[in-house]
C-alpha cells in the first residue's frame, strides 16, 4: 500500500449483531456494489450512491436507524425511514466530523420490527479511507501536496497602502471602491469551522500554509477587468453560483479574506466566493467608528451589489452578512431592489447571521421591506449565547436582532434559526462559520434548497403562533 496516498486504512469487519432467526435482512450498496466485509469508503467516492436496502422480509416498523462515528455526541445521526437515510448527505457529514482523517469508523445501527413482530437489531461496521490526493478534488484545485490555494474575489472601500506586507495593503480609512482577487490557502488537515493560525503555545511564530490558513497575494483590478474575470469564472461553474459575504465589526481585510475562503471551502461551495470589506477598525475599541463606517459604506455596498448582480453572469446569488455587516447589506439591498425590482430574480437566498441591528428598527423598517420588496427566502441565525451582542445591547440600551432568548425575533417571511448552545467559545459570536452544525445547516440549505422544515438538524419551535427552529445539540 502506498502510505503517501492513504493516511489511514482500517480493515473493519461487516456483520450483523443479531437477527432473531427472522426472514428479514438488510444490505448496504454503493451503486451496484454490495458493501461486503472488508469494504472501505473513501473521501474520493461519490457517497450519494450509498444506500441501505431491505432485501428480505417485510418491514412492519423501523423503530431506530442511526449512523455514528466514534468522535462525539454531535456525530450521531438518527433517521425514521430508509428514505431519509438514503437521501442523507454522508460525504459532507463525514467531512464535517473529520471522520476520514481522524481514524474513525462508520457504525450503522438498525433496530426494526419485522412482519411477525420480531425485533431485529443489526450493526454494520465500515472502514474509512482517507485518500489525501483525492480530497483536493472535493475542496478545490491542487496546488501543492499539503495545502489548497483558493482565488477569492473582493470589493472594498478601504484605503490602499503601498507596502510589501499583504496583510497591510488595505487599511482602516475610507476610500473609493476598489476590486481584485486575493489568494488564500487552506491546509489539507484543516478542520471544518476553524481558521488555523500560529499559536505561541505550539511555538509557532509565523504562518505556515501546511498548518494555517494564509493569505498569499492580492491583485488589484479595475472595474471592467474585475467583472470580466468574475463573470468568466462563474460561467465555468455548473450552476453559475456565487455568494457575497459582508463581514462585521472588528474585522481586518485579511481576516475577511480568510473567513470567506474558509466558508467557501467548508461549504464545498460549487461557485465563486466574493467578499465586501468595509473600513472596520479591526479593534475592540473601534466600535463607534465601525458603526459610522458601515453607515457610510451603505451606498458603496448598494452600488457594488448592482454591478455584482448585473455583471457577474450569475444565475444563483447568495447574500451573507455577519454582525454589523448586516446593517450595510440589508439597507443596501432594500434601496437597490426598491429602485430596480427586476434585479431580485437572481437572488437565491439572504442569510443574516448574528445581526447587530436594533431589534425594533429591524421589525418596523427593515424586515417588512425585505420580505415584500425582495420576495426571496431569508434565513436569520440567532443565539442567546452571543456575548458580543449582549455587550451591544448594554451599549445601546435596546435588544439586538441576533440575540435569542425571550425576545427572539420571529417574523413572517423570515426563517429564524436559534443556534443557542452550539458554540462553546468565549464570545460565541462567529458560530455561523465556526461550528460544524451551523455550517452543515447552511450547506444543506444551499446544496439542496431545503427550507428549515425539511432540514434534519432542526427542531420545530413555536412562539406567539409563529414558528421558528432550534439547532439540535
Q: Across-strand partners of 250?
A: none
What pLDDT score was predicted for residue 24? 55
pLDDT at 14: 36
The pLDDT assigned to 81 comes to 78
Residue 123's DSSP bridge partners are 109
62, 81 Cβ separation under 8 angstroms: yes
Grid coordinates belonging to 160: 490602499
The list of the chain residues with pLDDT below 50 reads 1-22, 133-143
| pLDDT of 135 | 37
- With b for 16 or more beta-carbon neighbours within 10 A and e for fewer, the 147-167 pattern comes to bbbbbbbbbbbbebeeeeebb
C-alpha grid cell, residue 48:
450519494
pLDDT of amino acid 61? 66
Distances (CA, A) of 366 to 300, 345, 362: 19, 20, 5
Quick: pLDDT tens for 436-455. Answer: 889 989 999 998 889 999 98
E strand residue ranges, 93-169:
105-114, 119-131, 147-160
H helices present in 246-316, as ranges: 253-266, 287-311
Q: How far apart are CA 109 and CA 125, in angstroms?
A: 9
DSSP string, 300-320: HHHHHHHHHHHHS--SEEEEE
Domains in the chain, CATH or no CATH each: 6-132 (2.60.40), 137-471 (3.40.50.1820)
What is the tens place of the pLDDT at every residue in 314-366? 999 999 999 999 999 999 999 999 999 999 999 999 999 999 999 999 999 99
The C-alpha cell of 63 is what? Answer: 423503530
- What is the chain's length? 473
Please name the residues in contact with 155: beta carbons below 8 A apart, sequence gap of 6 or more. Answer: 177, 178, 179, 226, 274, 275, 276, 277, 304, 308
Helix boundaries (H) for 18-101:
82-86, 90-96
Amino acid at each position: 500500500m502506498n502510505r503517501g496516498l492513504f493516511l489511514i486504512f482500517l480493515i473493519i469487519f461487516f456483520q450483523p449483531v443479531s437477527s432473531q432467526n427472522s426472514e428479514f435482512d438488510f444490505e448496504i450498496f454503493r451503486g451496484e456494489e454490495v458493501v461486503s466485509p472488508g469494504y472501505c469508503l473513501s473521501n474520493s467516492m461519490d457517497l450519494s450512491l450509498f444506500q441501505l436496502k431491505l432485501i428480505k422480509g417485510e418491514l412492519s416498523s423501523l423503530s431506530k436507524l442511526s449512523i455514528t462515528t466514534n468522535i462525539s455526541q454531535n456525530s450521531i445521526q438518527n433517521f425514521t425511514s430508509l428514505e431519509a437515510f438514503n437521501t442523507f448527505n454522508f460525504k459532507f457529514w463525514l467531512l464535517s466530523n473529520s471522520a476520514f482523517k481522524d481514524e474513525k469508523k462508520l457504525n450503522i445501527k438498525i433496530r426494526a420490527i419485522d412482519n411477525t413482530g420480531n425485533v431485529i437489531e443489526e450493526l454494520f461496521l465500515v472502514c474509512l479511507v482517507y485518500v489525501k490526493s483525492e480530497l483536493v478534488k472535493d475542496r478545490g484545485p491542487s496546488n501543492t501536496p499539503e495545502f489548497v490555494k483558493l482565488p477569492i474575489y473582493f470589493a472594498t472601500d478601504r484605503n490602499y497602502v503601498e507596502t510589501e506586507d499583504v496583510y497591510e495593503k488595505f487599511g482602516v480609512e475610507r476610500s473609493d471602491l476598489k476590486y481584485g482577487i486575493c489568494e488564500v490557502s487552506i491546509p489539507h488537515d484543516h478542520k471544518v469551522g476553524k481558521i488555523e493560525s500560529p499559536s505561541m503555545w505550539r511555538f509557532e511564530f509565523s504562518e505556515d500554509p501546511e498548518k494555517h490558513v494564509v493569505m498569499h497575494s492580492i491583485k488589484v483590478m479595475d472595474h471592467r477587468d474585475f467583472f470580466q474575470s468574475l463573470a468568466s469564472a462563474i460561467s465555468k461553474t455548473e450552476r453559475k453560483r456565487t455568494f457575497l459575504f459582508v463581514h462585521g465589526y472588528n474585522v481586518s481585510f485579511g481576516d475577511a479574506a480568510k473567513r470567506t475562503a474558509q466558508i467557501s471551502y467548508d461549504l464545498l461551495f460549487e461557485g465563486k466566493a466574493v467578499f465586501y470589506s468595509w473600513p472596520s477598525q479591526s479593534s475592540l475599541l473601534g466600535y463607534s467608528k465601525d458603526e459610522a463606517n458601515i453607515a457610510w459604506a451603505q451606498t458603496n455596498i448598494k452600488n457594488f451589489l448592482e454591478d455584482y448582480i448585473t455583471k457577474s453572469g450569475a444565475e444563483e446569488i447568495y447574500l451573507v452578512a455577519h454582525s454589523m455587516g448586516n446593517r450595510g447589506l440589508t439597507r443596501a439591498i432594500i434601496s437597490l431592489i426598491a429602485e430596480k425590482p427586476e434585479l431580485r430574480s437572481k437572488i437565491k437566498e439572504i442569510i443574516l447571521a448574528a445581526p447587530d441591528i436594533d431589534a425594533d428598527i429591524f421589525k418596523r423598517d427593515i424586515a417588512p421591506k425585505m420580505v415584500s420588496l425582495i420576495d426571496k427566502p431569508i434565513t436569520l441565525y440567532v443565539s442567546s449565547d452571543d456575548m458580543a451582542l449582549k455587550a451591544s445591547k448594554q451599549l445601546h440600551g435596546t435588544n439586538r436582532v441576533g440575540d435569542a432568548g425571550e425576545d427572539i425575533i420571529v417574523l413572517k417571511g423570515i426563517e429564524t434559526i436559534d443556534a443557542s448552545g452550539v458554540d462553546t467559545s468565549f464570545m460565541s459570536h462567529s458560530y455561523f462559520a465556526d461550528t460544524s452544525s451551523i455550517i452543515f445547516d447552511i450547506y444543506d440549505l444551499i446544496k439542496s434548497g431545503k427550507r428549515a422544515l425539511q432540514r434534519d438538524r432542526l427542531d420545530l419551535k413555536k412562539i406567539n403562533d409563529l414558528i421558528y427552529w432550534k439547532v439540535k445539540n
